[in-house]
Amino acid sequence: MQSQALSPRLKTGNNLVVLATSNYSSAKHLIRVLVDNMVKYIIVPDEVPDGWQFRANGSLSSLPPIPRGNGKYYRLERTGETTCPFFPRTTNVPEEIDSITDPNVHHDIQINYAELQKVPSRIQKWSDSHNKHFTERTTAVTHPSFKNDMVMRIVEFPESLWKPEVNSPGGRRLTLTERMTTEFLIQQRAASRGLAPEITGLVTEAGRGIIGFLSEFVHDGKSVRDYWTSRGKQELDDQDIEACLQLAKGLARLNIYHGDLTPSNLIRRDDGTVLAIDFEFATDSSSLKDGSARQEDEFNDLRLMLIRNTLASGDSSSDEALQ
């Protein structure tokens, strides 16, 4: 992938650049937009009729312009007019919320989101039963201060807008900010022993603080699954299988339970070394009652996939397309 061939962010027919869309129980839609290099958020209440085209690769011409300035959070409200039936009004959401505040999440380099530029064709997307939604939670980006592309991982939407919770391996309910904190710390631990891509900086956003991190884009490799496919789905060499299993053992020695250790989440470099990616579901195994048993099961599952030529199974990595 060549970073020179950069594309502008996705523009609409007004002053907005749509970055991501989603829906949660607290609103019909949340929209993350860029206005004059400032990220803003639009809450679309249930009263807004269906039919809006929430497409990040198309037009949002029916979305009214968002005022310029320091306002960050807006809620669409009825105006009673026919030409502009909905108008964005500033909400009472605090201006400084949802930053990753764990003091262990530290890096000498911090980059404002607005300074990063996406690499073309790297917008991750998924669909639910009704709408297409678009995410930049995992995106390949570039920055003038860095020679190579990087992988960006962020918490897209301020959590106070929709109060999200996710399951943790230990059963406790975590916010996505807590989940991202854990992901950063575990990938940093693995990277320190050469088992994961190096973390290259933190991502900040005006009005929110730290929202995620940047890591090395592995240019000289591909996922073990893709490597296997490129070989005509022939059996992996013994040294490749051993490299994958040694990586799994290395993670276990660091008390890391990956949570999704499949061939799609292992990157084989051209020199034959292997790195783990996508630590979204990872946790410290020492914090789990059955941590050792989970690690053993994860190791055995990976071993079976590798030696039985079932490398296409367990494909749930959103990061795979970025490698």
User: Which residue is listed with tokens 């019909």?
Assistant: 28
- pLDDT in the model for residue 214: 98
Residues 176-184: contacts with CB within 8 Å, 24+ apart?
A: 177/98, 177/99, 177/100, 179/280, 180/100, 180/153, 180/154, 180/155, 180/211, 180/212, 180/213, 181/100, 181/102, 181/105, 182/282, 182/283, 182/284, 183/153, 183/279, 183/280, 183/282, 184/100, 184/105, 184/213
What is the Cβ-side half-sphere exposure of residue 80, based on CA atoms within 13 angstroms?
Answer: 0
Buried b / exposed e over 16-35, threshold 16 CB at 10 Å, is: bbbbbbbbeeebbbbbbbbb
**Nearest residue to 114 (alpha-carbon basis) of 228, 230, 243, 203:** 203
Q: How far apart are the first and last CA of the chain?
A: 10
pLDDT of residue 28: 62
Give residue 13's Cα distance to chain centre.
27
Q: Are 86 and 48 in contact (CB under 8 A)?
A: yes
Torsion of Cα atoms, 217 then 223 then 226 then 231, to 10°: 110
Domains of the chain: residue spans and CATH: 221-322 (1.10.510.10)
Q: Rounded to whole angstroms, how far apart are CA atoms 182 and 212?
A: 11
What pLDDT is stored for residue 293 in this prediction?
Answer: 95
Query: Cα separation of 154 and 203, whole Å?
Result: 7
d(CA 261, CA 275) in angstroms, rounded, equals 11
Single-letter amino acid, residue 203? V
User: Which residues have a Cβ under 8 Å from the Cβ of 91 and sit 6 or more positions away?
Assistant: 43, 73, 74, 75
Confidence at residue 165, expressed as pLDDT on a 0 to 100 scale = 56
Beta bridge partners of 125: 134
Alpha helices (H) along 68-159: none
Q: What is the pTM of this model?
A: 0.82
Per-residue pLDDT of the chain (323 residues; tens, 9 = 90+): 333 333 334 444 456 788 887 766 555 678 888 888 889 888 877 666 554 444 433 345 556 677 777 788 887 776 655 445 456 666 655 544 667 889 999 999 999 999 999 886 554 544 443 445 677 889 999 999 999 999 999 999 887 776 655 565 555 567 888 899 999 999 999 999 999 999 999 999 988 899 999 999 998 989 999 898 888 877 888 999 999 999 999 999 999 999 999 999 999 999 999 999 999 999 999 999 999 999 999 999 999 999 876 555 444 443 443 44
Rounded to 10 degrees, what is the CA torsion of 89, 92, 94, 97? -70
Round to whole Å and give the CA distance between 173 and 106: 24
| 8 A C-beta contact, residue 151 and residue 217 | yes
CB of 214 closer than 8 Å to CB of 200: yes
**Cα separation values, 119 from 34, 133, 152, 223, Å:** 17, 19, 11, 19
The pLDDT, as a whole number, for residue 32 is 87
Q: β-pairing, 27-35 with 17-24?
A: antiparallel
pLDDT at 152: 96
Cα distances (Å, whole numbers) of residue 84 to 25, 42, 61, 149? 26, 16, 12, 41
